[in-house]
């Protein structure tokens, strides 16, 4: 999976903003996409995603709408969304939500 010891420095990466008021900083490590994701207040990702993710909330709270139920994750907690699980994110925090995310 990982072949070298690395420091991931997001400080020199520009935030890529999306029209849905989300954005991200991205580093590719081998075949893995590693990101700092940001959702502005009340932002929602409109499209369903089935890519697997491992994440950790740095600030705020993210709610993932699932096909069957939901998953709310607060600051300081991590989460796993297995590949194939239909989900889409919503910021339910009164402010910006940021989280670290590794795509499967």
Task: Render each residue's pLDDT in the chain as its tens digit; 104 residues.
Answer: 667 788 999 999 999 999 999 999 999 988 899 999 999 999 999 999 999 999 999 999 999 999 989 999 999 999 999 999 999 999 999 999 999 999 98
Confidence (pLDDT) at 1: 61
Confidence (pLDDT) at 15: 96
Confidence (pLDDT) at 2: 66
* C-alpha–C-alpha distance, residues 76 and 78, integer Å: 7
Q: Per the structure block, which two tokens stand in for 44?
A: 């929602």
The pTM score is: 0.92
Alpha-carbon torsion, ordered 65, 71, 72, 75, to 10 deg: -120
* C-alpha–C-alpha distance, residues 99 and 75, integer Å: 8
- Tell me, which fold does domain 16-103 have in CATH? Jelly Rolls (2.60.120)
């Amino acid at each position: 999976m990982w072949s070298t010891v690395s420091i991931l420095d997001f400080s020199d990466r520009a935030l890529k903003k999306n029209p849905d008021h989300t954005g991200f900083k991205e580093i590719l490590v081998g075949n893995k996409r590693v990101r700092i994701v940001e959702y502005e207040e009340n932002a929602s990702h409109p499209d369903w995603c089935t890519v697997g993710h491992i994440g950790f909330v740095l600030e705020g709270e993210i709610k993932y709408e699932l096909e069957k139920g939901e998953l709310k994750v607060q600051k300081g907690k991590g989460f796993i969304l297995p590949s194939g699980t239909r989900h889409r994110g919503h910021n339910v925090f009164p402010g910006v939500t940021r989280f670290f995310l590794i795509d499967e």
